[in-house]
Amino acid sequence: MVSPARRVAFQILHDVEKGEFAADLLFQRTPHLSREDAGLATELVMGVLRYRPQLDFAIQFFGGRPAAKLDPEVANALRLGVYQLRYLDRVPRHAAVNESVDLVKLAKLTSASGLVNAILRKVDKRQLNWPSKSVELCLPEWLMLKWISNFGSDRIETIAHTLLQTPESYVRVPPGNVVIHNTLEPTEVPGAYLVRNEPNSSDLPCRVQDISSQAIVPLLRIEPGMTVLDTCAAPGNKTAQALESTTQVVACDASLPRLRALRTLGCPLVVADAATALPFDRRFDRILVDAPCSGTGTIRRNPEIKWRVRHSDFQVQQERQVRILRHALGLLKPGGRLVYSTCSLEPEENEQVIDIVRRWGITVLETIRRTPGYEPGDGFFAAVLTSQMSA
Ligand SMILES: C[S@@+](CC[C@H](N)C(=O)[O-])C[C@H]1O[C@@H](n2cnc3c(N)ncnc32)[C@H](O)[C@@H]1O
């Protein structure tokens, strides 16, 4: 018998390999589970995705076989088992071993059940000598080398270790609203509260939104009555934040299904590709381009990004980001403010995009960078731009 938590985790790991996002699948597939099972399923999925190279090294060390040579289902059942045996304290040994064996049977790979059983029975908690720095830091070798050159060898350990941790939860309470909740702690970003001792922050009566994400809209300096265009708005966290300051917000996104999440906000919604001319014949006081990006700043909550992203992606992202910015800047009133932001850690999607914009004669008023391990929350970059008269 496989417990609901392990069955859901196993299925999600399989679907993540097909291109889905773990956080989305956990959100969809855990509500019917008990709180304990939902917590365990989340821990297992995120743990396996975060620590994959160390788990694979342990499979090779104790089992003598490279995980890459095993059936994907067998490899995932073993990773789940090794993660429980080596990284978790409260899981009984027999449950970790037996349920991984049952998972391969469930996947109709009964012939591999003996192998899984034999390997997991040998696994213990001894300290292993990792074969490389990239296995120790649980990063692909190329990304680790890139980050060493981006951030310096003195910062890579802090960043990589931070990205292996469970992210803290933050919620948004618009400034001026009263908060009476003993689990919420104010932060340096107005309206952003850290959630303490609340296992399920989505139960709280406020929107869950990372502190770094909440730090972007204030850069627009929106005043009441100003017109605001949000070009890449879904799922609407920053649109909702902009609506705290003015009623004149238009939200645009290329994805109709994603834009549906904004229906309750009560502002005009426009499905449009912001990388081509946008369907507006007027200009805006403020524009937010919260651009689609590689998301490397969110690896703590989306660990599969580490294994999915390719070096060539950053250039492709940059080309789209530049196109979106060019069209958005054409809709900015003279002297208006445009904020460009990404949750990427990569200069190709951040500073290099802004260098291109500077060459168009656009003034860059300010840039900010939030780096995991150095500032709380996800990794973020933002630049405040203005054309002609200063904002
Ligand atoms: C980083 S997310 C935006 C997050 C959102 N601003 C928030 O705070 O909730 C980027 C969004 O850009 C949208 N997008 C991707 N390509 C686009 C394009 N060419 N034009 C407009 N939106 C696009 C995606 O559908 C996605 O919803």
Query: For ligand 1, what atom is nearest to the CA of residue 236?
Result: 9
Do 287 and 193 sit in the same domain of this protein?
no
Do 201 and 266 sit in the same domain of this protein?
no
User: What's the rounded Cα separation, in Å, for the pair 245 and 223?
Assistant: 6
Q: Which of 87-101, 142-156, 201-215 has the lowest mean pLDDT?
A: 201-215
- For position 111, which CATH number holds? 1.10.940.10
Which amino acids are annotated catalytic? 343
**Cα 158 to averaged position of ligand 1 atoms, centre (Å):** 29
Percent of the chain with pLDDT over 70: 97
Do 140 and 221 sit in the same domain of this protein?
no
Query: For ligand 1, what atom is nearest to the CA of residue 295?
Result: 1
User: What's the rounded Cα separation, in Å, for the pair 245 and 264?
Assistant: 17
Query: Does 358 map to a domain?
Result: yes
> Residue type for 57, please?
F
User: Residue range 286-304: average pLDDT?
Assistant: 98
Answer whether residue 201 shows pLDDT above 70. no
pLDDT of residue 277: 84
- What pLDDT band is residue 391 in, cutting at 50, 70 and 90? very low
How many other β-carbons are positioned within 10 Å of the β-carbon of residue 78?
Answer: 29
The count of domains in the chain is 4
β-bridge partners, 252: 270
Do 196 and 226 sit in the same domain of this protein?
no
Do 264 and 189 sit in the same domain of this protein?
no
> Residue type for 359, please?
R
Q: Are 270 and 279 in contact (CB under 8 A)?
A: yes
Query: For ligand 1, what atom is nearest to the CA of residue 238?
Result: 8
Query: Does 391 map to a domain?
Result: no
Q: What pTM was computed for the model?
A: 0.94
DSSP string, 97-133: HHHHHHHHHHTT-GGGHHHHHHHHHH---PPP--SSH
**Cα 271 to averaged position of ligand 1 atoms, centre (Å):** 11
Query: Does 115 map to a domain?
Result: yes
Answer whether residue 380 shows pLDDT above 70. yes
Query: Does 100 map to a domain?
Result: yes
pLDDT of residue 63: 95
Do 313 and 199 sit in the same domain of this protein?
no
Token pair listed for 47: 């743990």
Q: Are 58 and 79 in contact (CB under 8 A)?
A: no
- Measure CA of the first residue to CA of the last residue in the chain; give whole Å: 64
Q: What is the CA radius of gyration of the chain?
A: 23
DSSP string, 155-197: HHHHHHHHTTSPPPEEEE--TTS----TTEEE-SSTTEEEE-S
Summarize pLDDT for 8-42 with one digit per residue, the tens. 999 999 999 999 999 999 999 999 999 999 999 99
Which is nearest to 29 in space by CA: 2, 49, 52, 10? 10
Query: For ligand 1, what atom is nearest to the CA of residue 342?
Result: 1
For residue 193, the enclosing domain spans 168-209
The rounded mean pLDDT for the chain is 94
Answer whether residue 198 shows pLDDT above 70. no
Do 279 and 243 sit in the same domain of this protein?
yes
* Lining residues, ligand 1, CB within 6 Å: 213, 231-238, 253-255, 258, 273-275, 290, 292, 324
Do 289 and 369 sit in the same domain of this protein?
yes
**Cα 194 to averaged position of ligand 1 atoms, centre (Å):** 25
pLDDT of residue 202: 63
CA dist 266 → 21, 89, 131, 239 (Å): 28, 47, 55, 11
Do 179 and 243 sit in the same domain of this protein?
no
Query: Does 32 map to a domain?
Result: yes
Buried b (16+ CB within 10 A) or exposed e, 219-251: bbebeeebbbbbbbbbebbbbbbbbebbebbbb
Do 194 and 283 sit in the same domain of this protein?
no
Summarize pLDDT for 251-262 with one digit per residue, the tens. 999 999 999 999
- For position 248, which CATH number holds? 3.40.50.150
Token pair listed for 328: 């958005």
Location of structure tokens 């990404």: 342
**Cα 339 to averaged position of ligand 1 atoms, centre (Å):** 14
Query: Does 72 map to a domain?
Result: yes
Token pair listed for 187: 């932060």
Which is nearest to 67 in space by CA: 51, 10, 57? 57
pLDDT of residue 372: 97
Look at ligand 1, atom 17, and give the residue with the nearest C-alpha. 254
Helix ranges (H only) for the chain are 4-17, 22-29, 35-50, 52-63, 72-87, 93-106, 113-122, 133-137, 141-151, 153-162, 211-214, 237-242, 256-259, 305-308, 311-329, 351-358
Do 221 and 287 sit in the same domain of this protein?
yes
pLDDT of residue 206: 83
CA dist 244 → 108, 201, 217, 221, 356 (Å): 53, 22, 10, 12, 32
Query: Does 143 map to a domain?
Result: yes
Do 225 and 349 sit in the same domain of this protein?
yes
